[in-house]
Structure 1
Amino acid sequence: MYHFSFYNPVRIEFGEGKEQHIGAYMKKFGAKKTLLLYGSERIKQTGLFDVVAKSLKQEQIEFTALGGVKSNPVLSKVNEAIKIAREFGADSVLAVGGGSVLDSAKTIAAGACYEGDVWDFFTGKTPKTALKIFDIITLAATASEMNNGAIITKEETKEKYAISGEALFPKVSVINPKLQSTVTSEYLAYSASDVIAHSIEGYFTASIHPEIINLQVEANIKTIIKTTEILLQNPDEYDARGEFAWAATMALNHITRAGTKDISFPNHMIEHAMSAVTDCAHGAGLSVVMPAWMKWYKDKNLAQFERFGREIFGVNSADEGIQALKSWFDKIGTPTSLKQLNIDKSTLEEIIDVAAQNAVAWRMDKIYTKKTIEEILNLAY
C-alpha cells in the first residue's frame, strides 16, 4: 500500500426514523439558526418537511427555508442562498434532498463566511471556515454526505467545477433508506451509474491499487448491481435500499482510495462537460461516457480490466467485461449512447471544447487532449 493520511469526521445516523431527531443532532453541535435548503416541493408532499420543521422547533432552532435547488446545481442559486443565509444570521445549513442539494449547501456554507466571490473556491482557493453543515439525504448516489467536496456549475461559462476543504465535511448526515423509496426507477438507474463511476475511476487509473481496495471496490459494484435489480422490481425493499445507500456512501468517502496512488477521474471530467452543456442527468451522462472511455483506456491497464470482467461479470476478457457493463446499463434503463441523450454533432463539438478546458483545470490535459477526448466520445455513438 502507498502511504496515506485518512480523516473523515462525519457522524452518520443510519436507519428508519432518524430524520425525526435532526434537531437534537444539530443542537449538540451548537446550531441555533439554520438555512433549510431543499430541491423540489416533493419533501412537503411526502411530509418530510413537516417532520424536519417539528424537530427543529422542538430544539428551539430557528430556520428559514429555501427550495428550488435543481439537479446539476448552479452558482446563481448558491449566490441567492448565500445572501439569505447572511441576512438571516444562519450559523448552519441543513440540506434535505440529494447530492445536488448537499453540494449547494456546502458551497453556501463556505460562501456565507467569505467576503469575496464564492467561485474563488472553485478556481484555486480553499475555504478555511464555513457554516456548520447537516443533511438528510433522500437520494443515494454522490456520497456527498460523507466527504468534503461539492460540484457546482457556473451557468454563463458552462464551467462545472469542484470545491473541497476540511471545513466542508458535514457534522451529521442522516441516511434513512426508507426516505429513498420514492426515487423513480429512472433516477435509481442514474444513481447506480454514478456509484459505479466513483468506484471504477481509481480501480482502473491508480498506479498503486492494494488488493484490499480492489476487493472493497468489487464488493461495492456487485452490491450496486444486485440491489438495483431488486429495487427496480420492489422499490420498498428496505434491506436492498439500505445496502444500495451504504454502497453509494462508501464509493466516495475516501475509504476506497486509501493506500492508492495517482488516481484520476477522467469519466467525471468528461461528463461534467456533457452535463454542463446539455443539463443531462449526471448519472445518465456517466453511463454513456464509461463504456466508451473503458474501450479507449483498457490497454493501459489490461490486467485490471480482465479482472473486472472476471470478478464482476464472470467473463474472460476485458472486452467482454466492458460489453457486460454496457449491457447491464441498457438493462436497467440508463443511456449508453450519445444519440440517446439527443447529442448531435454541433453539441458534441461544444462538449469536447468544454471537456478540454476541464482537462486543463483538472491537470489532466497531458493525457486528455482535445483530440483524445474526441476519440473517446466518438466511441459513444
Structure 2
Amino acid sequence: MKNFRFQNKTDIRFGTGRLDVELHDAVSQFGSRVLFVYGGHSIKKSGLYDTVTGLLADLQLTELPGIEPNPKIDSIRAGQKLAKDQDIDVVLAVGGGSVIDAAKVIASAKFYEGDPWDLVKDRGVTRRKLQQLPVVDILTLAATGSEMNSGSVISNPVTYEKLGTVGPNTPAVSFLDPSLTFTVPARQTAAGSMDILSHLLEQYFDRSKNNDASKGMIEGLMRTVIKWAPIALKQPDNYDARANLMWSATMALNGIVSVANENGWTVHSLEHELSAYYDITHGVGLGILTPRWMSFILTKDATTAEMLAQFGRHVWDLEGDESYAVAQAAIDATFDWISRLGFPMTLPEVGIEGYSAILMPVATA
C-alpha cells in the first residue's frame, strides 16, 4: 500500500428534520451576507425554496438562480460579480452536484481579479493559492459527491471544454436529507446512480497492489448502489433506498476510498469530451461508455482479465475459475444493470450522429 495523507473537514448533517433546527446557525456562523445559489424551479415546486428563505429571513440573501446541469462558466462569472459587489460572506448552494460545483468555484472567484475561467483552465493551481468563501450546501440529488470534496467540473460552451478544477477547501457544512430526493425524476435518479457507480469503478480498477482495504470499501459501496438504485426507481419515496444512495454518493468521492490507489479516471475523461460538445447528461454518457470501456480493456490488455473477474466475483457474485469468462460475464451484468435503469445505450439514442471514427465503437457496440 502506498503512502497517503487524508483530511476532510466537511461537517455532514445527515437525516431528516435538521434544516429547521440547524440551517440558520450553520450559515450565520460565517456572516450575514449570503449568496444563495440554486438551479431551476424544482426547489420552488418542492417548497424547499420557501423553507430556506424563511429560515434565513433575517440574513441578507442575494440570489443566483439558473445554475445549469454541466454548469457553465458564464454562471460562475455572474456569481463572481455578485460575490464581489455584495461583499458576500458565505455561499449557500441548494441543489445537486452542478449547483455545488458552481458554488465552490464562485467561492474562490470572489478573491480573484481575473476571469474565473483561469481558475478552471489551470485545473485549480491558482485556486489553491486563493482564499475561498465557506460553502454550505443542501443536497437534493445523490450523484456527484460534490458535497464532501473540493472538486468542481465547469463547462465552456465557447471553447467546447469541460474541465475539472480543485480548490483549497471542501464545503464547510453539508445537509444530506434523503427525503429531499423523493421527488427527483426517474431519469435523474438513474443518471445519478450511474455517476455514483462510475466514481467507484474509476477508483476500483487501478494498478496499486495489495490495497485490499480501499478495494473492499469500494466493493461494498458498489453492491449498495446496484441493490438500491432499482428500488429507488420503483419506489421514489423509499427512505432506505434514497438514504443508501445518498451516503454512497458522498462516500464514493470524498477521498476515503481513493487513498493509496493509482486511478486513471479514463471513462470520466471520455465523457467530459462528449458532454462538452453535445451537452448530454453526464450520467447518461457514463452509462453508454462504461461497459464499452470494460470490453475494450479486456480485449486489448489480457492483464485486466483478473481485475474484471474480481469485480465479477466480489460485486456481482459470479462464479467460475476462468478469469476471462468471469470478466466477460461481469461486463454483461454491468451492461444489463445499466439498461434496466432505463438508459439509452448508444450515442444516436442521445442525438449524437456526427461522431468521429474514434467514437464509432461506442456508438455501434
TM-score, scaled relative to structure 1: 0.89
Match of 2:323 in 1: none
Match of 1:341 in 2: 350
CA deviation string 1:106-137 (max 9, x = no partner): 11111111111211222323312111111001
Sort the Cα spacing of 1:118 and 1:206 in 2 relative to 1 into closer, same or farther, 3 A.
farther
Number of corresponding residues:
350
Contact 1:158 1:276 in 2 (8 A): yes
Contact 2:105 2:167 in 1 (8 A): no
Q: CA deviation at 1:206?
A: 3.5
Match of 2:59 in 1: 61
Distance 1:239 1:313 in 2: 21
Alignment of 1:1-381 (within 5 A): 1-20=1-20, 21-28=22-29, 30-57=30-57, 60-124=58-122, 125-127=125-127, 128-167=130-169, 169-208=170-209, 210-260=211-261, 262-298=262-298, 299-315=302-318, 316=320, 317-344=326-353, 346=354, 348-349=355-356, 374=358, 378-381=361-364
CA deviation string 1:167-216 (max 9, x = no partner): 3x100000000001111111111111100110011211333361111111
| Unaligned runs of at least 5 residues, structure 1 | 353-373
SS at match of 1:134: strand
| Unaligned runs of at least 5 residues, structure 2 | 321-325
Distance 1:84 1:377 in 2: 44
Sort the Cα spacing of 1:259 and 1:240 in 2 relative to 1 into closer, same or farther, 3 A.
same
Equivalent pairs: percent with the same residue?
35
The farther-off stretch of 145-154 and 157-166 is: 157-166
CA RMSD in angstroms, aligned pairs only: 1.4
The farther-off stretch of 142-151 and 36-45 is: 36-45
Contact 1:206 1:264 in 2 (8 A): no
Contact 1:144 1:150 in 2 (8 A): yes
Amino acid at match of 1:151: V
Q: CA deviation at 1:380?
A: 4.2
Contact 1:19 1:174 in 2 (8 A): yes
Amino acid at match of 1:149: G
Distance 1:134 1:49 in 2: 15
Distance 1:322 1:140 in 2: 24
Distance 1:188 1:95 in 2: 20
The farther-off stretch of 208-217 and 181-190 is: 208-217
Distance 1:63 1:175 in 2: 22
SS at match of 2:162: strand
Match of 1:358 in 2: none
CA deviation string 1:75-97 (max 9, x = no partner): 01111121122111111110000
Contact 2:27 2:92 in 1 (8 A): no
